Structure 1
């Protein structure tokens, strides 16, 4: 990997730490950061930012997670986002109906339709829903969408727990323990994609979902049987270079997960490296050492 692989882009209007990002067509939606409520759209072709909104003033962001909710209309210009997480008393659960800020939608229309603003996540009776039990610590939580109708929210969180929330019934339907002695937070958690590409989670049959998780020396392949409501966990190898770290940025592209940086926690050691993990070959390797990085962005497709 040579230096030309890395391109310097325009700086954010305000620096953000522990941000969550979602890709939408040519936009990268950047949703808040550690105790920072600003949200921006970065246009990948124009190399420019536009302000979207702020999280409500009573929301304290601390290791939150943002996922793209399923939309049956693939051609829709509207995108639904779910934001949740935080440390116990500071947890929030909000949704946003996003319409591109690069289009011609007026601010007045945005407000009338609750577009481009975070509002409470509610059930069918308009009652606010907070995802998480009172005892759950969702600081550094990660989640993916799956299920036969893309109606299930798979949540992995501190210390080493996995829970399953049904977005149709607004209820938890499963809680389990991950087979690791690591604390699991600020980790990598991605769906195993159909045919190595696209956005649909791989299903070994109609009702089985597959996911991958990495944190420090823990690597797991996770399968969920929707018919029987059961998890199966399989150990995956983790390359020595990345095993001491967590809180890395990551992106899943087809069959490859790319890890950027990481935090070693003990002694405040931060990784400067980029690593590549092949899902098909079940191995990883060091790619590059470009810059110090920790608590970076997670990109959701």
Structure 2
């Protein structure tokens, strides 16, 4: 399964192809890797087998350039099928909006029935009349775009993108219902962190504050924002958060949201002459509104990698990226959540303590 290095990262089997600016979605014991910068191939990584399987390629006319992939709401949480939405593009790159109905390539089902002929391939996102829908206007710059899904019926796509824009796209009506500007103090946003403030701390369910008010968090350079959306009145409010001087120069980092914290891995900044790459790991505590920088780091500097939490919540996977020689890498590594989130370690210790005492009770009762 790989070697454990001194920085608490376990090196896994290399990616089938070097990838940066990739998008990744967890699905049970799989991580679905959906293309990368000018790389159209999509793969499933099986977290138990440490193996990859090819899923499909994006259509040949699609050029991936800082695209975004999100998992659409699945009414049946136990279903083996999920639907992915991919969109991106800019005035320089033809935009795309595609969907994929996915069923595991590791199962026998996907190879048998004609019923699944339209699965595991990217097809046009269409309305009920089968007319293609493209998310974004011709002059919208979605390079490095980030999006999350929320709302009362998980029907709202919140999109944050260059220069300082936030938009709301209704997935039921297939119309934009809101555009606004983010208070970024002159900084642009791109390849940034954008997450739901969720009920369970995993970014799966949007936090409802009261009535139909929901919260999101955005980080890029010195922009640290709490974004609150009032669904009833279709209105945004923004609150500035504490900015850490250690992470303020950075963007293009990988990030993952776990148990009231957000972890940031790597990233880079431009000093006017060259790219400066980071291998640092930072943590933001949402409840405390505080930052910390770990002594432990990535094995080497990386930008444009992606971090994803496995669905068992025990490991964080770091996939691809570019190293400090501007080389796109095939690296795939994982690290245990409890190394970076002490609350999980406390829970494990508490569970062991309870089990230990239960065991003693059983022994005493059998004497």
Superposed pair shares fold, TM > 0.5: yes
Deviation of 1:195 (Å) = 4.3
Select between 60-69 and 264-273 the one with higher mean Cα deviation. Answer: 264-273
Higher strand share: 1
C-alpha separation between the residues in 2 aligned to 1:110 and 1:137?
39
- What residue in structure 1 maps to residue 140 of structure 2? 136
Q: Aligned partners of 1:4, 1:261: CA distance in 2, in Å?
A: 13
CA distance in 1, matches of 2:304, 2:235: 32
Where structure 1 has 5 or more consecutive residues not aligned to the other structure, the ranges are: none
Q: 1:173 aligns with which of 177, 185, 190?
A: 177
Stretches of 4+ aligned residues off by more than 4 angstroms: none
1:33 matched residue in structure 2: 36
Task: Output the aligned Cα RMSD.
Answer: 1.6
Q: Tell whether the 8 Å contact from 1:29 to 1:39 is kept in structure 2 after alignment.
A: yes
Structure-1 separation of matches of 2:11 and 2:69: 25
- Name the CA shift for 1:272/1:62 in 2 (closer, same or farther; >3 Å): same
Larger Rg: 2
Change (3 A) 1:67 1:16: same
Cα deviation for residue 87 of structure 1 reads 2.1
Question: Structure with the greater relative contact order (CA < 8 A, sep ≥ 6): 1 or 2?
Answer: 2
State the number of aligned residues.
300
1:193 and 1:254 in contact (8 A); partners too = no
* 1:161 aligned residue: 165
Q: Work out whether residues 110 and 116 of structure 1, in 8 Å CA contact, stay in contact via their aligned partners in 2.
A: no
> Could you report, residue by residue, the CA deviation over 1:145-164 in whole angstroms, capped at 9, with x for unpaired residues?
00000000000000000000
Alignment partner, residue 68 of structure 1: 71
Shift of 1:296: 1.4
Alpha-carbon separation, structure 2, partners of 1:198 and 1:18: 20
**Does structure 1 conserve the Cα–Cα contact (< 8 Å) formed by 2:156 and 2:171?**
yes
The equivalent residue for 1:277 is 284
Task: Assess, with a 3 A threshold, how the Cα gap between structure 1 residues 284 and 111 changes in structure 2: closer, same or farther.
Answer: farther
Q: Distance in 2 between matches of 1:150 and 1:112?
A: 25
Residue ranges of structure 2 left out of the alignment (5+ in a row): 312-367
TM-score normalised per structure 2: 0.79
| Residues 1:265 and 1:109: Cα distance change in structure 2 (over 3 Å) | farther
Question: Does 2:52 match 1:52?
Answer: no
Q: CA deviation at 1:244?
A: 0.3
Contact 2:256/2:307 (<8 A) preserved: yes
The alpha carbon displacement at 1:289 in A equals 2.3
1:135 Cα shift? 1.7
Tell me the distance in 2 between the aligned counterparts of 1:106 and 1:79. Answer: 13
Take 1:50 and 1:201, find their aligned partners in 2: how far apart are those partners?
32
- Give TM-score scaled by structure 1 length: 0.96
Cα deviation, 1:206-248, whole Å, max 9, x if unaligned, reads 3111100000111000000000000000001121111101011
Q: Which residue of 1 aligns with 2:98?
A: 94
Contact 2:253 2:264 in 1 (8 A): yes
Contact 1:277 1:283 in 2 (8 A): yes
Change (3 A) 1:110 1:91: farther
